[in-house]
Amino acid sequence: MNKTTIFAAALLSLGPILGQAEDKVHFKDDDFSGTGWSEFVEVPDTGGWEVIRRELGDLAQGVVQEVTLEGDGGLFLSAGRGSYVSLFRSGGLIYAVRTRDGAQSLIEQADADGTIGLRLGFDGAFFIYEYRAGSGWIRLAKSDIVGVVPYTGGISTPSRADGMSGYRVVELESLKGVRFGYTNTPKIPGTPWVVHDPFRPQPRQIHPGTVTPRDEPGRPPSDAIVLFDGTNLDAWEDGKGNAPKWTLRDGYFECGKKSGTIRTKQKFGSVQLHIEWASPSEVKGSSQGRGNSGVFLAGLYEVQVQDNYDNLTYPDGQASSLYGFRPPRVNASRPPGAWQSYDIIFEMPEFEDGKVTRKARITVLHNGVVTQHGVEIPGILGHKKTRPYREHGPGHIQLQDHGNPVRYRNIWVRELKPVQ
């Protein structure tokens, strides 16, 4: 495939997608004569290919674009300049293309002559690429998404849509088998959402910049209690007080198969905690099955660890969320395999006669970006449930084993004592 053909797709980098429920048509333009489009824009260095685009709303499950082709052309979805997916025909071949930050890959291709239909969309966890040469749709490929929100969609064509018809944006019930949340869970206090609500708005995915961490772990403050400096696991134990089963490697330790959750030997109350972590560089799974772990304060309040770079999950279960309660302000995730940092300020709840008089509060910086700020925690956090406070004192800092080989390094804590 030549350079012109691969870029002819749907290039451009423009941005948002999607809608709501049950085979619902959101937009339709049979012959590209209606309103709702941006003007044709020629794609450089492609021999005259152009795109026509439109905003498609917030990302939602089961929404696709469809078009009928007589000649060459196709569909694209863009999540920003240099990040897009495209499904198009050129020279009798259908190509499925994925590009992230300018790095392009051919997902799949197939022969197809005559009149065909193309379908490009989102099933809840992956992009799907389909074509129809007869009566039924054929799945050509699927791929990871290239961003979370927002998206722009549209067509790519060498002929100003000549020979193209039947464009529509439709929400397909048949694509809603992939779930990344729950609707039968308790309501979260003080919100209109239930625990792990899949319809809660997704945080924007941003690039966190280069504030932290450095290529090499930094030096803790002089009054910090060092929990891991890259040399040993002496500060840690398993849930029964035994030596932890996590594997010590070159400057970090890693969760292995059935390693079990580990905890600090020492108990802590209000703290400033610094911790660095990395999900596996090889992407496997989706939603909660990808780079999953967690940091528990006082053994009860979880800040989620999760690979959410181009990976959707329920908003209150993604990286730096207060698990089961509050999504992060933004998704500041780095790519799989890259080191990431949490800086957490946690204030213990206060009790009198068994009743809570001051709720716990937490602030989280993910890769130097504020994702939680002075958030009052409503109770004990958990999976698919909410629980009221119970009186407790200081507790262990815990790192969760969720079956994924997540790595940790450079962990230290400063106890926050009352100011005299």
Model confidence pLDDT, tens digit, residues 21-45 = 457 898 999 998 888 898 889 988 8
The residue that leads in pLDDT, 264 or 81, is 264
CB neighbour class for 374 (10 Å; exposed up to 12, middle 13-18, buried from 19):
exposed
Q: Which fold has domain 225-415?
A: Jelly Rolls (2.60.120)
Domains of the chain by residue range? 3-175, 225-415
From CA 130, how far away is CA 65, in angstroms rounded?
10
Q: Are 3-175 and 225-415 in the same CATH fold?
A: yes
Phi-psi region of 233 (alpha: psi -120 to 50; beta: other; left: phi over 0): alpha
Containing 5, the helix (H) or strand (E) segment is helix 3-8
Quick: pLDDT tens for 294-321.
999 999 999 999 999 888 888 899 999 9
- Pair 264, 235: CB distance under 8 Å: yes
Residue 169 vs residues 63, 142, 180, 359: alpha-carbon distances, Å: 7, 19, 22, 46
Q: What are phi and psi of 224, to 5 degrees?
A: -80, 150
Q: pTM of the prediction?
A: 0.73
Q: Write the CA distances from 132 to 44, 110, 124, 135, 161, integer angstroms.
A: 29, 11, 22, 7, 19
Give pLDDT tens digits for 125-136.
Answer: 789 999 999 889
**Is 138:129 a contact under the CB 8 Å cutoff?**
no
pLDDT in tens, 191-213: 899 998 887 888 877 778 766 55
- At 336-391, the pLDDT tens digits run 999 999 999 999 999 999 899 999 999 999 999 999 999 999 999 888 888 899 99
Rounded Cα distance between 294 and 383, Å, is 12
Of the candidates 292, 270, 275, 294, the one whose C-alpha atom is nearest the C-alpha of residue 235 is 275
Q: What is the DSSP string of 151-199?
A: -EEEEEESSTTTTEEEEEEEE-GGGTT---S-SSSPBPTTSSPBTT-TT
d(CA 156, CA 74): 5
Phi, psi of 3 (to 5 degrees): -60, -40
CATH fold label, 3-175: Jelly Rolls (2.60.120)
Task: State the Cα–Cα distance between residues 228 and 408, nearest whole angstrom.
Answer: 9
